[in-house]
Every structure is written in C-alpha cells, then in structure tokens.
Structure 1
C-alpha cells in the first residue's frame, strides 16, 4: 500500500535515506579499514549520529509529526558537521556530498514546515483562539 507524499517531502526522505546509508556504510567500511584519523572518536561519532538523525528525521516526516520542522533543522546541522569532517579526510567525498545534499533538503523542509505552522496560526479565526 502506498501513500501520497508531497514531492518536496519525498525528496527530503530520499536524501535522508541516501545520507544514512552512505554514512553508515562509509563508517563501517572505509573508515574502519583506513584507520588513523578516519577512526577518530569525534569523526566516528559524527558519522554514526548523522546516520541516526537521518533515520529519525525520515520517521518523523513519514508520520507527519508536528516536530518534523525542528528535527529537520537539527538534521541539517548534523549533516553539515559530518560533511565538514568528511571533507578533511581522503576518500570521503561521496559521504560529504550525501551529507551536504541532505542538509540542504532538510533546511528546505524545516523552512517549509515553519511556514505551514505560521500560516495555520494566521488562519485561525480570532474567536477560536
């Protein structure tokens, strides 16, 4: 059974899924096999946290959670931090790219949700407040 999803939201879900898969795969293969700075605690934490927040953001969007805006904003920050960390290391270009694309998509979704919430508040008749 499929559910209609806003194309912008579906694009963000897809970006989050790509980022999650890429971060998890690169952390568990490329980074562990490369060693050195690739397995520094800060870098590994960022990669695993990025993968986790991407999964959680996807879940929140799919459930139409009222907290999706805030979570997408946090996801964008985590993805940016992960991209910066990956850019400092050899062979992490694909991960950095997936993180940057996800961050951009999440920023757009966070802004979209915020506009919807503001618009919904403005349309409420005064006698119902």
Structure 2
C-alpha cells in the first residue's frame, strides 16, 4: 500500500520495486539454506548475498527517484541473471524457487534500465 502513495512511480516501477524486494527476501532465504547444504554451495551463497544487497538498493533508489536508478537497474538485472543461472544448477527447492523469482526480477530491472 505504501508504494501506491509514492506519486512519482509508474506501475512498472512499482512492480520492479516489488520484484526487487521479493528477490532480496528469496536470496536471503536461499543463501541461509545453502549454508546447511554443505560443500559446493559457496558460489550460490555469494551470488545470493550480492543480489539481496543490490536488489534492495535498487528498490530504495527507485523509491527516492535517484538519478542512479537506471544504472543500478542494469547491475541488478545482471546480478539476478547470474545468480539464477547458478541456482538452476542445484536441485534444492530453495534454489529453484530463487531462480524463478530472480528471472522475473531481472526482466523488470532490464525494463527499467531501458526506460
């Protein structure tokens, strides 16, 4: 509901903010679950942590109408795509869920980068 109050945001921007916050949450969950999976999950954990940070930052930059939002959208899209590719290589449910969410986030961020 709060996003609806920010008058400078388009519907597409609101969707992207939602996608970024969802990506942040799922990546935090996935990284935490990967720790319990043991050996061989280091890259997945690192990428998930990177996405959680950059997606959260991108959402905040969009909300405050930052001039850097477009540049950050490109970075976020790239990080989401790389992390999704890594997650897809693992059979764990949390990795598969994460990959799906990150594909959506990457797409909406790409749209913001080209807007």
Q: TM-score when scaled to structure 2?
A: 0.90
In structure 2, C-alpha distance between the alignment counterparts of 1:88 and 1:66, rounded to whole Å: 36
In structure 1, C-alpha distance between the alignment counterparts of 2:106 and 2:54, rounded to whole Å: 11
The within-5 A match list for 1:31-50 is 31-38=34-41, 40=42, 42-50=43-51
In structure 2, list runs of 5 or more residues that go unmatched.
none
Report if the CA contact (8 A) 2:84-2:98 is conserved: yes
1:109 to 105, 109, 112: 112
* Paired residue secondary structure (2:72): helix
Q: TM-score when scaled to structure 1?
A: 0.80
**Superposition deviation, residue 3 in structure 1:** 2.1
The within-5 A match list for 1:56-67 is 56-67=57-68
Structure-2 residue corresponding to 1:13: 17
Report if the CA contact (8 A) 1:17-1:58 is conserved: yes
Point out the structure with max Rg over C-alpha. Answer: 1
**Superposition deviation, residue 62 in structure 1:** 0.6
CA RMSD of aligned residues (A): 1.1
**Superposition deviation, residue 36 in structure 1:** 2.1
**After TM superposition, what 4+ stretches of structure 1 lie above 6 angstroms from structure 2?**
none
